[in-house]
Amino acid sequence: MTRSLSVIAAVLLTVSAYAQSGDGQVTPTTNLTVTTLGGTANTISLFSGKKTIANSAIFQNGGNIGIGTTTPSSLLTVNGTIQSLAGGFTFPDKSVQSTAGLAAVSHDGNFNGAGTAASPLTLAVPLTLPTPPYTENGLVATSNGGTALYATDISQYGTGVSGSVNDGYGVTGGAGSDYGIGVGGFANGQYGIGVYGWEQQTGGVAVYGFGYSGYAWAGWFEGDVNVTGNVSKSGGSFKIDDPVDPANKYLYHSFVESPDMKDMYDGTITTDAAGDATIRLPHWFQALNSTFRYQLTPIGQFAQAIIATEVQNNQFTIKTDKPYVKVSWQVTGTRQDAWAKAHRIPVEVDKPEDERGYYIHPELFGEGREKSIMAAHRPNDFRPGALPPRR
C-alpha cells in the first residue's frame, strides 16, 4: 500500500504587544504567536481566531477595493447590499441622501430597461401610462415657482402637448394660487398656435370654459378675436372705460339684435333747390344685401320727405316738399352673401330630445347647474356634489 503524505506549510508570526509608560518610553509587554496557513495575493487578511489569520472578503486590485468580488471596477465595488444604519450617503455635490427616493422601480412594456446600471431605464416612443379605471391622476407633476411639466417641438408643424380621451379630459390643469395658470400655451411663430382644440363629432366641444361665479370668467381674451363661424350668445355688449370718468367707471352698451342678418347704414344729406338728393352707397352694397328698409327724418324744419327711387346701382334718391332740407336717412339690408345664405339663423326651434328639461340658464328657472345644457351631455361633471367640474 502506498500512502501519500501532504505537508502543509505553516507560517508562524510573532506579534508583540507594546505599552507606553508615563515617561514616553515604549516597552514590550506580551509576545503572541499567530499562525497562518497562507493567504491569497491581494486579499486583505483578517483574524479568523485569536491566533490565526485567514482571507477576508475584501480584495484589492490596484487602487480599487472590492467587497465580495475579486474584480473591482471602481474605487469601491460591492457585490451585495449596502446598508446604512444612520447618516445616509454623501454625494459629490455635498448633498446627503438619508432615505431612498424610490423603494423600487416598476414599469410596463412602455419603459425600456429595468432601471439598473446594466439595463438603464429609458422611455419608449410613444410613451403610454395606463391608469386603472377611475384613478384620479395618471401622471402628476408639481413645481414651486418653476415649470412642472414642459414639452416642446422644434419642427415646423409639431405639437408640444396633445391630449385625447374617450370620456373625460384629454388635458386638464388646475391653479391653486390667486395668480396661477392651470394650462398655458405660447407660440412665437408667424402662424403658431398657443392652445389648439378640435372636435369632430356632432355636439362636441373643442374648447370648453366654465366660469362658476362672480369674476370667474369662462374665457378672457386680451386682444383681437377672430371667429369664422356663427356666434351664439344670451346677450352682448361693449364695455369700455367711461369716457367721462375712465379711472373710476365702466360704460356698457347693448348690441342691437334682429331675427334677420341685418346690416344698417345711415347718414345725413341736404336736398337741392328742387328738393332732390341722391344717396350713394358702397359699391358692394347690393352684392351683400337685399330686402331693403328705409327711414327718413327732416332736421331743422317741418317738411315731408319720401324715398323717390329705391336702391338701384348701389344708390337711391329722396325728395322733400321744400328745397334745401337737411334729412337724416337710414337704410337696412338683409345679408345675401354666400356664407349668410348657407347659415341662416333659425328664429325658433324645438330643443333636441336629450336637451329637453335642461336650460341655458337653469338658475333663472329655479334649477341648479345639474340642469344646464352641458349637464345634459356630461352629467357626471355636473351632478350634485361634483361642482365645479372635476380637475
pTM above 0.85, yes or no: no
C-alpha of 310 from chain center? 57
CB neighbour burial string for 33-44, b if at least 16 within 10 angstroms, e if fewer: eeebeeeeeebe
Q: Which of 316, 342, 368 is the last residue of a domain?
A: 342
Q: Give tens-digit pLDDT for 276-326.
A: 999 999 999 999 999 999 999 999 999 999 999 999 999 999 999 999 999
Does the structure show a pLDDT above 90 at 333? yes
Residues ≥6 apart with Cβ < 8 Å to 29: 17, 18, 19
Provide the residue range defining the domain that includes 154.
138-208
Please check whether residue 388 lies inside any domain of the structure: no
Q: What is the mean pLDDT of the chain?
A: 81
Q: What is the mean pLDDT of residues 57-63?
A: 87
How long a stretch of residues is the chain?
Answer: 391
CATH number (domain holding residue 322): 2.60.40
Residue 291 is which amino acid? T
Residues whose CB falls within 8 Å of the CB of residue 247, separated by 6 or more in sequence, listed in order = 241
The residue among 154 and 68 whose pLDDT is bigger is 68
Distance of CA 240 to the CA centre of its chain: 31
Is it the case that residue 146 has pLDDT exceeding 60?
yes
Higher-confidence position of 353 and 217: 353
Domain boundary among 326, 342, 358: 342
The residue whose grid cell reads 485567514 is 54
> How many domains does the chain fold into?
3
CA dihedral 48, 54, 60, 65 (to 10 degrees): -20
Grid look-up 395668480 returns 179
Give the SS3 label for residue 377: helix
Distance in angstroms (rounded) separating the CA atoms of residues 83 and 146: 35
| Residue ending a domain, choose from 53, 78, 103 | 78
Predicted confidence at residue 5, as pLDDT, reads 37
